[in-house]
Amino acid sequence: MPDPKYAPIVEAAKPTLKTPADVVTLAMTLENVARDTYLSDLNQFTDKKSLMIMSSVMGVETQHLATLRAVAALLAGNAPQLIAIPVDPSRLPAAAGSAGFPDAIPTPKLASPPAEGAVH
C-alpha cells in the first residue's frame, strides 16, 4: 500500500506530465520526501538493524536525488544532450558542479511523520 498522502498527489500529477522536466520534477519530489523522511527518522530507532537498513536505503535515495537535480539543471539550461553516460565534462556548465547538492548539511524539510504510512 503506497503512502496515503503522496499516492493521490502522484495520481493527480500523472496527467500533467508532458515533458521530461515534468517527470524529473515529480521524481525529485518523491526522492526528496523519501530522503528527508529517512533522515528525520534515523534518531528514533532503538534497533540497530532497522537503523542500518534505513540509512543504507537513504544513502541511495540521496544519490537519486542528486542525479535528478543535476538532470533538472541540464534540462533547464537547454542542454539535454549532456544527460549521457559517459559525458564530456568539459562541456558541462559550471552549475553542474553544484546543482546536485544545494545544502552542505541537509535538513529534513519534507519528512513525512512515522504515523503517516503506518498500517492501522
Partner 1 sequence: MTEATNDSSNPIIAATETVASRRGFLTISGAARLGLLAAACGSNSTTVGPATSSLSTNRSSPSGDAGIARTAASLEVLAVGTYKAALDAATGGKLGAVPPAVATFVQTAMAHHQMALDAWNGLLTSAGAQKVSTPPTDLKATVDAAFGKVTDVVGAAQLALLLEQTAADTYLVALPLIMNKDAITLAGALQSVDQEHSAILLYVLGQYPVPDVFQKGNRAYTGTGG
Q: Closest separation between CB of residue 62 and partner 1, Å?
A: 4
In whole angstroms, give the CA distance from residue 100 to residue 120. Answer: 37
**H, E, C per residue of 91-110:** HCCHHHHCCCCCCCCCCCCC
Please tell me the count of residues contacting partner 1 according to CB under 8 A: 47
Closer CB to partner 1, residue 21 or residue 117?
117
In whole angstroms, give the CA distance from residue 28 to residue 6. Answer: 13
Residue keyed to cell 534515523: 42
Of these, 57, 76, 80, 109, which contacts partner 1 (CB under 8 A)? 57
In whole angstroms, give the CA distance from residue 3 to residue 28. Answer: 16
Q: Closest separation between CB of residue 75 and partner 1, Å?
A: 15
Q: Closest separation between CB of residue 36 and partner 1, Å?
A: 9
**How far from chain centre, in Å, is Cα 32?**
4
Q: Which one of the spans 7-15, 22-30, 32-40 is the region binding partner 1 (CB under 8 A)?
A: 32-40
* Site string (61-100) toward partner 1, x via CB under 8 A: -xxxxxx--x--------------xxx-xxxxxxxxxx-x
